[in-house]
Amino acid sequence: MFKIRLLITALALAGSISVASAWEALPTQAPAPADNETTPAKVALGQMLYHDPRLSSTGTVSCASCHNTMLGGEDNRANSMGVNGQTGGRSAPTVWNSAFNAVQFWDGRAASLEAQAAGPVTNPIEMGMKSWDDVVARLKEIEGYKTAFAEAFGGQDAISQDHATKAIAAYERTLITPNSPYDRYVKGDKSALTEQQVRGMNTMQSLGCVSCHSGPAFNGAGMFQRFPMFDNAYLAAQYHFKKDLGVAEVTKKEEDKHLWKVPTLRNIALTAPYFHNGAVKTLEAAVRVMGKTQLNKDLSDAEISDIVAFLNGLTGEFPKQTMPTLPGTPGKTFY
């Protein structure tokens, strides 16, 4: 949590970014940490683990259950469903382009994809395993995983929590959606965006939206922002925005109440419903809410229409996903 506080402080001191730095194309590759080089064997293993419901206590929930790589990288639900039909209080963030987040989860409590991958597996509402020791013991009973872990990490006893989370993170670093109409536009193809989308892009700039939603992923590169910034009793009652304290749920600090990691706008047209609690059903309504709660402005219908048109231009090209064949457990089951 010290890292979160340090990051919030540094960003506050830095102030708003320059608008010129906002219009950047998305990289086609994500940087990997020094201790987790992205290799084909790790990616293949990570894809299997990501899609394997046997990492859950009931054998019914995988990472992909809430972060669907066949669509927008989440589940289009206000609150994701975990083991035994339980639901949490937050909407699942998209996994697409998550490699470009400086921190993970809505409250930024994980500093890396590797750290994030460890959390849901043992969360009692999400995947429900009692401990990672139990997960490792289960994986060691699956012969095919012994081979896959050895190929990815070497050694005869390669199955571990550290290697499992590194493999999942390595796979997630391949989930990048470049070459959206916006990307082609900023690279020089001025026909890639429509006239209305360009108006929306300029409107976002003039309103100051890119002060937070900055950088190639439109996520502020790890920036935290207070939401709502301006109190509005009607919207707070309608959408229950203040029920969840955000970063303060983790740090227990008064000054962190209603601070949230700035989410990416990439592929946002595919990730309804919106906001941390999934309370807003449409993109048009989300833009209107943002205008009122973050800018204290009543955006016109024309402004909203133009911004939504531009946001639709942030839908990128999705790399083809071929579902892995999971290693079996012939003649037995865990349940």
Q: Is 222 a residue whose pLDDT tops 90?
A: no
Residue 47 contacts residue 171 (beta carbons within 8 Å) = yes
What mean pLDDT is predicted for residues 63-84? 97
Predicted TM-score of the model (pTM): 0.93
Report the half-sphere exposure of 43 (CA within 13 A, side-chain side): 13
CA distance 260 to 248: 9
Coil, strand or helix: which one is 85? helix
pLDDT, tens only, 142-198: 999 999 999 999 988 999 999 999 999 999 999 999 999 999 999 999 999 999 999
What's domain 40-172's architecture? Orthogonal Bundle (1.10)
For Cα atoms 269, 275, 277, give the angle at the middle one, nearest 5 degrees: 130
Q: What is the mean pLDDT of the chain?
A: 93
Residue 335 tokens, joined: 């349940």
- Which stretches does DSSP call E strand in the chain? 224-226, 259-261
Distances (CA, A) of 308 to 3, 62, 314, 315: 34, 32, 10, 12
Coil, strand or helix: which one is 110? strand
Eight-class DSSP state of 317:
P
Phi, psi dihedral angles at 271 (to 5 degrees): -115, 25
**Would residue 195 show up in a list of annotated catalytic residues for this protein?**
no
What mean pLDDT is predicted for residues 62-68? 98
Is 40-172 in the same CATH topology as 2-26+179-312? yes
CATH fold of 2-26+179-312: Cytochrome Bc1 Complex; Chain D, domain 2 (1.10.760)
Phi, psi dihedral angles at 224 (to 5 degrees): -110, 145
What mean pLDDT is predicted for residues 242-265? 97
Residue 250 contacts residue 107 (beta carbons within 8 Å) = yes
Distances (CA, A) of 19 to 61, 204, 209, 247, 248: 42, 10, 10, 27, 30
Q: Over pLDDT 70: what percentage of the chain?
A: 93
- Identified catalytic residue from 114, 126, 172, 303: 126
Q: Kindly list the domain boundaries of the chain, sorted by start residue.
A: 2-26+179-312, 40-172
pLDDT, tens only, 274-327: 999 999 999 999 999 999 999 999 999 999 999 999 999 999 999 999 999 999
